[in-house]
Chains A and B, each alone.
Chain A
């Protein structure tokens, strides 16, 4: 393969019939991808609970399957897929990618890996490099995350190679929420703990088959309490935390527990 003639022998002769066949494969693949993606998204949005996440998780997998089938149909039309030809072609393509399209292709490959390993799926709540939000679309090169402020952030798949991916619900409908309370040291800890547990138990958003924990941590300025509990649906997380916080504050006020006045030096718990 040391001259242009050798490379030209890699490819089949693309007559009209071959071109039509290629076009049909491409059009069929595009059509199937569009229909399946829209159909699965529509179905997932009409389902709730675990079914919602299971159908959402199929979106990138189905697209990947369609692409693999389409490529395996298209390649034999373009080239004679012998071992020698494939080595030569892949070598040339690899050289081009290595110089010019490294990140782009890395994201595409990472997209394939992400579709199989599933570090995130549509419907998951993830944090990647400080961006927290709901994954609304897993594309071939990027994922789309909608933040609580309703910003759409596109994140390339290549982040999965060397960036921690924090997934709050991991394809399920259990997402832990935390509501914080900061109290002056002078209070009855047992009553506060019971009252905060009751606040969680009386939230209309509470998922009952998951545990509730009230955690206390002592600081120089007072005591920090956390309610850890799960909402029925991960999409309720902010309303759930707001409900816990507002009712928790009211209940603590009723018990006479004063809020901590000095937050200097406060640590995360």
Chain B
């Protein structure tokens, strides 16, 4: 059983792509599409790492990140943030809120894979 990655993302094709890449590399990928219930999902089955989209229905990725960092149990979880908006403003905000890494869509598959490997296999 590989390390568990929780992918919080609402675009089905992107979910499928990231799941495919990481599964092939031996990680277990869980997915969740709704921003509002994301924290419950994290608490129910704590992953080893989270990949978090910014634009989510219900609740934004930034709000979820803030909650993660505020909760002692999840505060140390590695978080990779993805955004399609591509503004430096978003990058700055993500860093300030304590994201470990920030990627702008479209990303290359290897970029995602290498980062997840670096975090989970160190």
Co-assembled chains A and B: no
CB within 8 Å of B: which residues of A?
A: none
CB within 8 Å of A: which residues of B?
A: none
